[in-house]
Amino acid sequence: MLQSLAHIALVVRDYDEAIAFYVGKLGFTLVEDSYQPAQDKRWVLVAPPGTSPGGASLLLARAATPEQAAFVGNQAGGRVFLFLATDDLARDHAAMVANGIRFVREPKVEDYGTVAVFEDLYGNLWDLIQFADGR
C-alpha cells in the first residue's frame, strides 16, 4: 500500500488575502486557483518553494459558516499547527523577517535541529525547522 498526504485544509477568512500572504510574503507557489460554481467557492492550493509535483500542499479553504469562521487562526488550539522544513533556516528566517513575518520564538538549536516559531496572517503557529539530520 502506498499513501501520502495530498492537501491540508487551512481555514481562511478570505482567499485573496491568504494568497497575498502565502505567496507574497512566504514565497509559496500558487499551484491552483479554480472557481467551483456548484459550491460557489474556490479551490486554492499553495505549496512551499521546492515542493515536488504531487507533494503535499495547503488548501486555502474560506470559512463558509460562523462555526468555521471561529476557527480561523486557531485551528490547533494555540499549538504549533504546521511545520515548514528548510535547508537553510538562517536564510529563510532573515527573508521572512524582512517580509514582515512575526516570529514568536527566535531560532533555537535543539537536538533534532534548529527551530523558530512564526505566526501566519491569522495567528496560526508554524515551526520553521532545519532538521539536524538533513531531512
Checking phi first, is residue 73 left (phi over 0); if not, alpha (psi -120 to 50) or beta?
Answer: left
- Indicate the pTM of the whole model: 0.93
Q: What is the pLDDT of residues 34-61, one digit of tens each?
A: 999 999 999 999 999 999 888 999 999 9
Top pLDDT among 93 and 4 is at: 93
Please give the Cα distance from 109 to 130 (Å, whole number): 9
